[in-house]
Structure 1
Amino acid sequence: MNENEHVDEFDRKILAALQADSRLTNNDLAERVNLSASQCSRRRQRLDEDGFIDGYRAVLNRDRLGFGLVNMITVTLATHNRDNARRFAELVSRLPEVQEAHALTGEMDYILKVVTRDLKALSQFVNDVLLPHDSVQHVKTAIVLATLKETNALPL
């Protein structure tokens, strides 16, 4: 059964409102979607339990916290086998600088979104962490000059 069959227009409104502001109280949420507080609470709980909501989090200000550089780093593995891919995935999962990591088709194997405080920290990350790892063959780095759009919001 398609998961979308379980989500009606009220559910979409609830999800969109929570996506915009996860701190909404149940009463505020009910007002925004035109449901009673009890109906809204039941729907929110079901959406949570059914896995439509992965979590609630605060979005921190990267610049205010001193992470001035956003970097896109492409990685090519030394060899293409499950063990090498697993070892690289384990490395990436331990690195707090990596905000996103995606396996790709085509020329590069992975693209990483990495935040660093400055160029020196980026250089240390690439030269002391990524390149020495035995699963990595090649690394290519691009520094983000401007972010035109950044969101995790789904188009509900």
Structure 2
Amino acid sequence: MSKPHQPLSSDPPLQRPAQPVQSSDYSVDQNPHKGNRGLARAWHAGINSLSGLRYAVLEESAFRQELTLVVILTPCAFLLPVSVVERILLLGTLLVVLMVELLNSSVEAAIDRISLERHSLSKRAKDFGSAAVMLALVLCGGTWIAIAGPHVMRWLRALAG
């Protein structure tokens, strides 16, 4: 017979609230951060998004490295004689890397906000984010090798021959 599931940390189990929370118990008006609607909300979301990108460029070295990759490879995607769908795949995988890096950085920031103390669950959350970035990079690299690789090899053979 198998052992019952044991928690990975010494944290106490989560306590359920005495009363179930109903979705009608909360409204948009109760959250001060949800006050904007329509175009005002879109405007503020855009400002926040630009702020996040600015912070990532200024403070996150991994994001800067990946952004450098995007800046170098984007013109290459337009120079390659590929179909529109292939070009979208090349550019899309570059954007996926940036998006996953931003999500990873947000997980790391949230974990560090909670506590800088070493904890196995904090490490696990950060490792999961790092693994997600690695998988996005593998997807990007594989896509570029599959689509751009034959063209680059043909150009190299033409230069050598």
Return the TM-score normalized by structure 2: 0.27
Query: Larger relative contact order (C-alpha < 8 A, sep ≥ 6)?
Result: 1
Return the TM-score normalized by structure 1: 0.28
The structure where strand makes up a greater share of residues is: 1
The structure where helix makes up a greater share of residues is: 2
Which of the two has higher C-alpha Rg? 2
